[in-house]
Structure 1
Amino acid sequence: MRSASASPGPDDITATARIRDAAVRLFGERGYDRTSVRDIATAAGVSPALVIHHFGSKDGLRDECDRWMLAQLSDKRADALGAQAGATIQQWLAEPEQFRPLVDYLAMMLTDGGEHGRTVFDLLLAETGAMLDASVADGTMRASSDPEARALLVTLHGLAPVILRGHLERALGGDILSSAVLARLTLPSLELYTDGLYSDSTMLDAARAAIDAQNEQL
């Protein structure tokens, strides 16, 4: 293992990034259990011993991949909500392939039934809740009768294309990460969030009345 007091040089940092990027891609494509340290080392152009030197174990490498992936998601979400949101969305639509490793890796994490998937879901839920609360506070979003439940629904809506990617691609007749499919989904998604679905409050009023009546019987 590397000494805690040693400062990594440029070559060391480059090798670490290559190993991590190779692991993210292979874990996402094949799954964690079907990817070996040797597979990752070969893809990164290093020895298996160097993988262990940098990360300690295959589990240690996955932990680093998880942290990197979460940081990427946070950064890209911040870009989409910032002052340059229009330019960011345009860039995403022009270069959707850049997201394939992230999408594959996130799908792997969320569907493998392990602690990693639970952790990433909880973190995404917490981050979504914080983003919604901040947006309500600054007036860019409306308040909710149940902020926690709304955060859960928004999180699920965002993750559905990742988990149900095959069904979505079959329905749309194209790769979810193609510019054409992304462009087709962008406006309807934002219309749904911006304008809502119903033209009046009939369904909302009926649901509130039904819930109030049920509560009165308890």
Structure 2
Amino acid sequence: MPVPDESSARIRIRDAALERFGRDGVNRVTIRAIAADAGVSPALVVHHFGSKEALRRECDAYVVATMRGDDTDELADAAAGNARGLSRMLDAAAPVRRYLARAFLDGSPEAAALFDEIVDLTGAWLAEGEREGRVRVTEDPRTRAVVYVTWLLAPLVFDEHVARVLGVEDLHDVDVTLRFSRVAIEMFTHGIFSDERALDAWDAVSKERES
């Protein structure tokens, strides 16, 4: 087996692990399987990462970096309305979405820490939106960030059920993601209820419990 370049080998191993962990779960995946997917030897995986747990932490860090938007060129294209740039982002994020879904289902401490960091990043992004006038002001920004993240991640955790109801084979397909995320964005932008009756009823219940 030829020896690949050090940096490219590390990325290939990480990407292979991201796919495997997302599809099968960390506990069901072996270093040997990841090495086979990456086209390297198990010894090279250990050389770069030391252990499967360290490789999983590397995947966590990559997912968080993706959530931060460290690839600024891709984000700039998408923000400017460049459909090709947005399509590349969605396509590249498919392994990330699968990884997130599996990590949260596994319920590991690392997944909990990952969720917390995603909430923190989302809260900061929403706060910036408030300052720029593109996000409505709320009295409880932390809870809003939690609800926002939970809402976005729900289709990942319930992917089989959502795919069945929508009549699609793969919820992580780019076209399918565009379909349900368009509806989510519409709901975030315009809301669902046309008046405040539901909100008033909720506030009334809260006030009654306080009395």
For this structure pair, what is the TM-score category when the shorter chain's length is used for normalisation?
0.7 to 0.9
Equivalent pair of 1:169/1:176 in contact (CA under 8 Å):
yes
TM-score by structure 1 length? 0.84
**Which amino acid in the other structure matches residue 173 of structure 2?**
S
**106, 111, 114: which one aligns with 2:105:** 111
SS in 1 for 2:139: coil
Name the CA shift for 1:81/1:26 in 2 (closer, same or farther; >3 Å).
Answer: closer
Paired residue for 1:150? 144
| Offset at residue 85 of structure 1 (A) | 2.5
| Offset at residue 129 of structure 1 (A) | 1.2
Does 84-93 or 99-108 show the bigger shift? Answer: 84-93
Paired residue for 1:34? 28
Does 139-148 or 155-164 show the bigger shift? Answer: 139-148
| Offset at residue 192 of structure 1 (A) | 0.9
TM-score by structure 2 length? 0.86
| Offset at residue 97 of structure 1 (A) | 4.4
Calculate percent identity across the aligned residue pairs: 37
Paired residue for 1:7? none
Q: 2 CA distance for matches of 1:143 and 1:109?
A: 32
Q: Mark the runs of 5 or more structure 1 residues left unpaired by the alignment.
A: 1-9
| Offset at residue 16 of structure 1 (A) | 0.8
Kindly indicate whether residue 77 of structure 2 is the aligned counterpart of residue 101 of structure 1.
no
SS in 2 for 1:87: coil
SS in 1 for 2:32: helix
Root-mean-square deviation over aligned CA pairs: 2.5
**198, 207, 210: which one aligns with 2:205:** 210
Q: 1 CA distance for matches of 2:72 and 2:209?
A: 41
Once the two structures are superposed, residues 171-204 of structure 1 have per-residue CA deviations (whole angstroms, 9 ceiling, x without a partner) of 1001223344334323321221111111112222
Once the two structures are superposed, residues 5-27 of structure 1 have per-residue CA deviations (whole angstroms, 9 ceiling, x without a partner) of xxxxx921111111111111111
Q: 1 CA distance for matches of 2:164 and 2:157?
A: 14
Name the CA shift for 1:200/1:170 in 2 (closer, same or farther; >3 Å).
Answer: same
Does 83-92 or 16-25 show the bigger shift? Answer: 83-92
**Which amino acid in the other structure matches residue 155 of structure 2?**
P
- How many equivalent residue pairs? 207
Name the CA shift for 1:114/1:26 in 2 (closer, same or farther; >3 Å).
Answer: same
| Offset at residue 116 of structure 1 (A) | 1.3
How does 1:1-218 map onto structure 2 within 5 Å? 11-75=5-69, 84-85=78-79, 87=81, 91-93=85-87, 96-174=90-168, 175-215=170-210, 217=211
